[in-house]
Structure 1
């Protein structure tokens, strides 16, 4: 899969600079819960280093790990669409360094620059499709009848 930073690399330099100017460097120690499923999605991150697990709450069972993210990956896409709540949870598996973006500010930039907005939404759509496939596969592995997967 193409990482978000690779997709953004296809943006004209001035658009990439506009977006990255809105980011700020953050870090999370290993074991930090970055966000929880069902809570307000008001920011997103592009991972610079480290690993983050995405998990899904399963009532009566331990949370299912859906995917592990690393360098160049987008962490969080729910900020784009109402109701703007997280669909999964996220936890740092190792120390993580990332660029953090305020979702409201980025949505404003997308309205000001529709070409940048379109390209960012397309990059996020790739991530959404990939995450849905990962979630389906993981849940079938865990809970589907034997032999029911593709």
Structure 2
């Protein structure tokens, strides 16, 4: 498990980690297969055990453009937790993937039944998955639009 995986799973208290994993089933994706497409219903989510998945955005005239790549231990998908429960990005297996797969409706029902579990899950998804994605996006934007050759950079190089 990667450090990211440990942060995601370790962010949940052991009882909630075990509860979440009790909903898991094994899932495999072959290299090149689509996991989901932008704007489809977000009815499942995954924690990757091995392999890599590329998150992509549809760009008119260019097709899917990779915006981030996820690896072992990372959470694939968080749109299942927030209405309207539709994917904001697409995803494709860059290489063969083994994952824990979760039925989103079942996990959401458990969250509704146990507010403490819900709070723990929401905090974990927000701090680890969403926070990581926003930091990665910021870095990509700085790479694309930041000053060339470090000109105008603040602080030590």
String of CA shifts for 1:105-144, please: whole Å, max 9, x gaps: 00111122222211111111121132234345446655x5
Partner in structure 2 of residue 98 of structure 1: 99
Per-residue CA deviations over 1:73-129 (Å, capped at 9, x if unaligned) read 000000011111100110001110000000010011112222221111111112113
Query: Structure 2 length as normaliser, TM-score?
Result: 0.82
Q: How many equivalent residue pairs?
A: 149
**1:21 and 2:26 aligned:** no
Match of 2:134 among 126, 132, 135: 132
**What is the Cα-based RMSD across aligned positions, in Å?**
2.5
Based on CA coordinates, which of the two structures has the bigger radius of gyration?
2
Question: How far did 1:41 drift?
Answer: 0.4
Using the size of structure 1 for normalisation, the TM-score is 0.86
2:86: which partner in 1?
85
- CA gap of 1:99–1:60, structure 2 versus 1, over 3 A, is same
Unaligned runs of 5+ in 2: none
- Cα distance in 1 for residues equivalent to 2:46 and 2:6: 11
Equivalent residue of 1:3, what SS?
Answer: helix
How far apart in 1 are the matches of 2:72 and 2:51? Answer: 7
Q: Is the 8 A contact 1:4 1:123 kept in 2?
A: no
Q: Could you tell me which runs of 5 or more consecutive residues in structure 1 were left unpaired when the two chains were aligned.
A: none
